[in-house]
Structure 1
Amino acid sequence: MKLPSNKILIALCMSGALASCSQSNQANQTVNPIDIWPSVKSAVTKDAAVEQKVASLLAKMTLEQKVAQMIQPELRFVSVEDMRKYGFGSILNGGGSFPDGNKQANVKDWVDLADSFYLAALDDSQDGIAIPSIWGTDGVHGHNNVYGATLFPHNIGLGAANNPELIKKVAEVIAKEVAETGIGWNFSPTVAVARDDRWGRAYESFSEDPAIVKSYAGKYVEGMQGEAGKNFLASDKVVSTAKHFLGDGGTVEGVDQGNNIDSEAELFRLHAQGYVTAIEAGVQTVMASFNTWHGKKMHGNKYLLTDVLKEKMGFDGLVVGDWNGHGQVKGCSNDKCAQAINAGVDILMVPEDWKALYFNTIAQVQSGEIALSRIDDAVTRILRVKYRMGAFDAKPSDRLHVPNKGAIGSISHKEIAQQAVRESLVLLKNNHNILPLKPNLNVLVAGDGADNIGKQNGGWTLTWQGTANVNSDFPNATSIYHGIKQTLEANGGQANLSLDASYTEKPDVAIVVFGENPYAEMQGDIKDGNLEYQAGVKTDLKLLRKLKSEGIPVVSVFLTGRPLWVNKELNASDAFVAAWLPGTEGGSIADVLFSELNGQIKHDFKGKLSFSWPAKPDQTILNVNDQNYKPLFAYGYGLDYNSNQMIPDLNEDLTIKSAAVADELTLFNQAPTLGFDFNLYSQNTKVAVNSNTVSLDAANSVTYKSFNRFVQEDAFELTWSGSQSAGIQLVNPAGFDFSEYAKANSSVSFDLRLQTPVSGQVVFNLATTQGQAFSVDLAKYINSSALGEWQTLNINLSCLNENSETFKQVSNIWSIESDQPNKLSVSKIRIVSNQASQDCP
């Protein structure tokens, strides 16, 4: 049989058509898949003086000191004294982590803590060496962990703007605000290319098209770090991170941390383009991804991390792991993973288990499981980045903070965020040219997103999932309603806010702001393959149809982290704007919706879809250039005020029929779902759980503290002081219909772990919007002898009340209360249908 020529063989390899691409017998030449990958020239070249400093310092370091440079604990689990003792190379603060657990920590709080860790690392009294520690943070759409920071549209909105120079300005602002808090390292940009809209991190992707991501990544890095030979890592710049390497946006079914099965050629063509321009721009760090490629975890993939990224692509910075990502590698745990280090991870992000990982890694080097040369390579890369960023030159308050005083939330930064909001808006429908609106109208502003700054910001905003935020958490921000109100009042118009669209005087027009509630990784995944917005609930559609039936023109402003099937909502709207997740400057949407009083356009719509919009709810994979590409609105679509396009009524009969009751309905797993939120409460006090550590009062009647059971913040610990009766409740004031679950013999199920024997009563409560309340003492369900072990409790709804209609509007689906000193942990709160037994204790 005649074998294919070498050129044809290479083509087949790159297309993924051949499973093995190692050799052409005919040509007797080896075809190496690594040739798919380019050699990339970084604008930041090695400096001989820096390399000499690195080599000199490395030669003085003990094994223990070297390993310490590779360990990155999280703020909540490491102290300044720990830093003084061990000299860790870096720390991070995760989403929702603040100095002293204070969500409203000010700039001084951040800077003082940064200085404390820095100086503790330099203290050589215990280990005889002085190497500064650096601090990393996830500033993915602004310095989003910091009270009062300027927050931009999430990446999906910035991608719709398709303006690389704007991206550079956005990154410059973020760098200055991060630097002002004394933090020198930002874990952004995300350069994922989301290919399945079920993925809960789709909004962190600039586009489904690698061309946009490629055009953005280098510009973002230049804005964040500065340009080589000009202002590279100057005092108003911070180290940038391209993430997550590699293929996180292309997993099967869009599952977060799932499996990417693209061929190697497709992996490069679709998912690596952002890394090419990021490395060219001199990015100093790359973060390894949680996902697998053909079943192998990226944190343990030596071929991609070392052979491809470091050697072929020439990346000379450091590779940092993601949150306990090393622990997911086969044969590893959070506290032990030679495989990840051997694969090329230089810094292990290990939030809690840092001490065990530190000692285990030392032992693995001593046993030969990890070569000392690999440790030396990792530490060389870490020190190289530290010297390049000037970490040895001065403490954070002098090096970063002082030159950037007043940066957080400054007017000039807000102006750039406002520009980003205006350019990100995509006009999907404008029948009869209802927009722009005159600013002297009587406008009804409705919908739960209208005056909700937390919702317009989405995930990765003050808290990890972006939940439990209220407007007062954003002192420098403007809600969408605020911008509308300000515009109308300045021009003789009137804005009336009514979340449920009620009114006394019929308005000229209604602007309805609605959309997805905040979510972040894992929690945002759509698991049933249905992109229909509010499937089975449709509360927002009812509101739109109510207004239409009353003869009121409707302008919809849709807040979303991805394209969703909204045919019904589009039909109920005269105009429809995809506003994505606009950030803290939501008020700027009014700049585009309204004209000048004389009708002159102030700001036209510029945004164009960087993600294709589905025509059917099952079009979860819909990307430009796909075969059989049939979107509702194609990639690049977006109307402006010169368009005269009428959108006819769309097919509404495409709803995916699903069972009325799922086998399991999640209520809490890392974050509450279904519009529910946690509150701590007593008879006289109620406090929202809006941080990872919250106490009800000064007496610590009840304290909440999140922790990791399986994954990040998927469990929480409750501690009662016994000073009064107090508890925690999972509440949704509007109520949620659980009646079908009650008919299906369902239970409220949750995992519980007792820390100490139960003292007195620990009471479970459930309540409805009609004021009906049901309680049961958990002592009937708890196995008190299983201290320290997780147990699953199932409280059958029929045991609380046999009438299923009672559960039509449940406002408090899960609550635990006690008046005695108690401590327990909770995880995986859910509704489980079709329980085997209806027996009640």
Structure 2
Amino acid sequence: MSLSIAERLAALSLSSKVGQVNQRLKGWEAVRWVDGAPQVTDVLRAEVDRFGGLGALYGVLRADPWSAVRWGTGIPPERSAEAYAAVQEHVDRCGDGLPVLFVEEAPHGLMGLGGTTLPVNLALGAGMDPALTRELGAAVAAEARERGTHLLLVSGLDVLRDPRWGRAEECFSEDPALAALLVEATVQGMQGAGAGERIDAQHVAVVAKHLAGQGAGIGGRNGSGAPLGPRELGEIHLRPAYAAARAGVAGFMSAYNDIDGVPCTGSRELLTGTLREAWGWDGIVMSDGGAVDRLSLAVGGRLEDAAALGLSAGVDLSLWDQSYTRLEAVLEEGLVAEAALETAVTRVLRLKERLGLFDDAPAEPAADEQWPSARARETAVLAERAARQAVIVLEDGGHLPLSARRIAAVGPNADDLDALLGDYTPPRPPEEPGAATVRAALVERLGADAVPHARGSDLRTPRGEAALAEVTAAAARAEAAVVVLGGTSRRSYDDEFAENGAADGPASDTTNGEGVDLAAVALPEAQLDVVRAARAAGAGPVIAVVVDGRPRALTDLAALADAVLLVPFPGPSGGRAIVEVLLGEGGNGLLPATLPRADGLQPVSHDQRLEAPRAYIDQPQVRGPLLGAGLPAAVRAEVSGADGPVRAADLAGGATVAVTVQVHHARPEPVSVPVVVYGRRHEPGILPRTRTVLAAGRHEVPAGGGEVVVELGLDALGSWADGTPQAVPVRLEVWAEPVLTPPAGAVTVQVVA
């Protein structure tokens, strides 16, 4: 007969309780692959001896330059379950026998050897397809669970408010409604269960990160403070977290940053008041790596005081911290009551129960001696679909689709597969079916002789006149030149890293990723020189393709190129997806974030308030293309109709207002396009935002065009001032064109008392 959580808790010693809330070890240091088999290390043995067990273990499968795990030294994907089993066997034999919670990173696919790499979140934001996002979540979860993983750490709560931030690629959008839509879909897909429901053996628990406001750090610097007022916090940064909580997410990760001076990891108001008391959510809160130890800065330097602050605030499970290992001393000093520790332990045990880890005969991970497994191959197919949706055509200049049969592929990202992948990516396998750079994809279509190539420059630094002359020569031998520019989150095994894995040393050509924040977001002059060199050939149109993980100022580029495509890191099949769009076979992504017109003009989000309408004296226009820009000129949308006024009480009870979006296009076949509905709220006493996203989604539109009916409910029409949707009297102007000012045909929706 299975024991209750209370009975399991009562059977634990104090040290074992402390062990259940610690996640101090780095898994790749706890398990080694030796002579074809997994072996637990002395590091793991000492931890189990110290606490009589092991609550959770992070990163047994993690493979990247920080962990120094690569193909040939790490755990082969088909042997992952054996590595986990070796840990559990040791805990059963030498500890309390409670099942270990195995935790891995999955910001865009499982970060282990053989894990399928997806397009980054910003690319999914461009696709605006919650159904596909849900499918991808389910596929990644199944792939991870068949390897024995229980819990995945998943980005998606951060809202992109400053393009200088290196982790912009981990955000779905600058708009909280779009971010909330896609993070909710991710949680639903990965967990396959609602709040409190059992998570089956085909799914995983999710810890969504990061809570909260990390995307609004001062100057776009990672982990810097977020000087947010309560309304800005609620309307922008808590909305995706609320969507995740509503979907039953198993956990939240507290962020490094502070909000108005209060560290998130030490904020009882946030972690207990908002999450548990206001929202009624009851999962686990995990700290970001070393974030509890960082609380010592706020409590005079002692780790014991930091642990007390974190536990009192509501942190149930630490990550790599030393402070939580001192919880017995914290209790002895009376800094917190043992009941607070037992509350945290209970939440950890409940999560294990929710995953079925206490079952008498828990489900065994699937054995598959071949890799990639059948499931991983299915995931790759979905990732290719997402990559095609992520390609954004900003300007086609009448030159797309290309009909040329000789196309030069030039520029620093033209033949660099790593530049397609994003941060938190495991080493690529020796052979990766389906992977293709832009150059490789063009060669597949046209043949090697028809695709002259030259790099021209590095991403941040020039390579000299000779390298540029090679670009001109390559473009002269072709009918069109595709210049592939942008950034990369590439990490090197020679890089230096901080304790949490962020870049902590010189990275010669890396421009994106955690710890890689930029003061300037305009394309470097070295890259623009490559475009000029291609233009100098005079042989045909110059098509610029910017592959990057953050919004870029592209004003100078637009003046040099005949057409401009922007592609958030699309994953290993991204080169093929880009070429399909160049040849007229796909695309239709939309900008998930607004582009600044120049350096020094960020942030420039589309939903800034109307109280600051003036630009700078030296920059009369601050914004470039807006969030929502990117549909080819042949597609346009207009909104009409509404159901009339709706009472606030009815809206709170589930009533909706229907608006009809008429999508026009000139194509002779059905098209899949994102449809965005914008609104400007006029709430008494509140300065309105320029516009907000009321609804977004991808729809199949018949040949020649058709109608899409969008239901606007409480999420779209309500106030989010405290991070939850509230029905209040308000008037909204509603439209579907990607413009800032409500057009003449905007519909008025009224919510009345």
For the criterion TM > 0.5, the same-fold answer is: yes
Q: Which runs of 4+ in 1 moved over 6 A?
A: 97-100, 394-397, 402-405
CA distance in 2, matches of 1:404, 1:265: 52
State the 1:230 CA deviation.
Answer: 12
Distance 2:607 2:179 in 1: 16
Matched residue SS, 1:240: strand
- Corresponding residue for residue 604 of structure 2: 622
Q: Deviations over 1:568-597 (max 9, x none)?
A: 2222211111011111111332453344xx
Query: What is the aligned partner in structure 1 of residue 548 from structure 2?
Result: 560
Q: Distance in 2 between matches of 1:212 and 1:550?
A: 42
Q: Spell out, residue by residue over 1:8-58, the C-alpha distance to the aligned partner (whole angstroms, 9 max, x if none).
A: xxxxxxxxxxxxxxxxxxxxxxxxxxxxxxxxxxxxxxxxx99x7211101
1:638 is matched by which residue type in structure 2? Answer: G
* 1:507 paired residue number: 478
Secondary structure of residue in 2 paired with 1:532: coil
| Closer/same/farther in 2, CA of residues 592 and 328 from structure 1, 3 Å limit | same
Q: Any unmatched runs of 5+ in structure 2?
A: 31-40, 457-470, 490-510, 616-621, 637-753
Distance 1:297 1:229 in 2: 27
RMSD between aligned residues: 2.9
Asked if 1:483 is matched to 2:471, the reply is no
User: Which residues of 2 match residues 423-434 of structure 1 at below 5 A?
Assistant: 423-431=389-397, 433-434=398-399
Q: Deviations over 1:787-826 (max 9, x none)?
A: xxxxxxxxxxxxxxxxxxxxxxxxxxxxxxxxxxxxxxxx
Name the counterpart of 1:455: 419
Of residues 374, 380, 383 in structure 2, which corresponds to 1:417? 383
Letter of the 1:454 counterpart: D
1:185-242 per-residue CA deviation (whole Å, 9 max, x = no partner) reads 1101421111111111111111111010111121110111103399952222111112
Report the alpha carbon displacement of residue 616 of structure 1 after superposing the two structures with TM. 2.4
1:240 alignment partner in structure 2: 206
Q: Shift of residue 510 of structure 1?
A: 1.2
Q: Secondary structure at the match of 2:88?
A: helix
Deviation of the 1:131 alpha carbon:
0.6
SS at match of 2:231: helix
* Paired positions, count: 566
Q: Answer whether contact 1:305 1:343 (CA < 8 A) is retained.
A: yes
Deviations 1:699-750 (A, max 9, x none): xxxxxxxxxxxxxxxxxxxxxxxxxxxxxxxxxxxxxxxxxxxxxxxxxxxx
What do residues 273-298 of structure 1 show as CA deviations (whole Å, max 9, x unaligned)? 11112111111011000010111111
Judging changes above 3 Å, is the alpha-carbon distance between structure 1 residues 342 and 479 closer, same or farther for their aligned structure 2 residues? Answer: same
**Deviations 1:81-107, CA, capped at 9 Å, x for gaps:** 245423120111267279993445321
Identity %: 24
What is the CA deviation profile of residues 679-705 of structure 1, one whole-angstrom value per residue up to 9, with x for unaligned ones?
xxxxxxxxxxxxxxxxxxxxxxxxxxx
Conserved 8 A contact 1:75-1:97: no
Check the 8 A contact 1:177/1:408 in 2, yes or no. Answer: no
Structure 1 pair 97–197 and aligned structure 2 pair: CA distance change class (3 A): closer
- Structure 1 residue 441 corresponds to structure 2 residue 396: no
Q: Secondary structure at the match of 2:589?
A: coil
Give the 3-state SS of the residue equivalent to 1:197 in structure 2. Answer: coil
Counterpart of 2:27 in structure 1: which amino acid? L
- The 5-angstrom pairing of residues 102-121 of structure 1 reads 102-104=70-72, 105=74, 106-121=76-91
SS of residue matched to 1:349: coil
Which stretch shows the higher mean deviation, 501-510 or 312-321?
501-510
Q: Which residue of 2 aligns with 1:541?
A: 528
1:532 aligns with 2:497: no
- Name the residue aligned to 1:138: 105
Q: 1:377 to 1:613 in 2, by over 3 A?
A: same
Q: CA deviation at 1:176?
A: 2.0
Distance 2:151 2:253 in 1: 12
Structure 2 counterpart of 1:602: 585
| Residue of structure 2 aligned with 1:75, choices 14, 18, 27 | 27
Q: Quote the residue 1:638 is aligned against.
A: 630
Give the aligned residue type for 2:634. Answer: N
In structure 1, the residue matched to 2:151 is: 185
Aligned equivalents of 2:429, 2:81: Cα separation in 1: 25
Partners of 1:118 and 1:405 lie apart in 2 by 24
**1:611 aligns to what?**
593
Is there any run of 5+ residues in structure 1 with no aligned partner, and where?
Answer: 1-48, 463-468, 596-600, 645-841
Equivalent residues of 1:299, 1:326 under 8 A apart: yes
Deviation of the 1:471 alpha carbon: 8.4
- 1:214 and 2:177 correspond: no
TM-score by length of 2: 0.70
CA offset at residue 393 of structure 1? 3.4
Q: Which amino acid aligns with 2:281?
A: F
Q: What is the CA distance between 1:181 and its match in structure 2?
A: 2.6
Could you say which residue in structure 2 is the equivalent of 1:59? 10
Under a length normalisation based on structure 1, what TM-score does the superposition of the two structures give? 0.63
- Which letter does structure 2 place at the counterpart of 1:634? L
CA distance in 1: counterparts of 2:362 and 2:435, whole angstroms:
27
Matched, 1:249 2:215: yes
Q: CA deviation at 1:386?
A: 0.4
Q: Aligned partners of 1:611, 1:594: CA distance in 2, in Å?
A: 22
Structure 1 residue corresponding to 2:319, chosen from 349, 364, 370:
349
Matched residue of 2:451: which SS?
strand
Report the CA distance shift for 1:444/1:383 in structure 2 as closer, same or farther (over 3 A). same
- Contact 1:233–1:389 under 8 Å retained in 2: yes
Contact 1:233 1:239 in 2 (8 A): yes
| Whole-angstrom CA distance in 2 between matches of 1:393 and 1:606 | 47
Q: Partners in 1 of 2:135 and 2:314 — Cα distance?
A: 32
Question: 1:319 — aligned with what?
Answer: 285
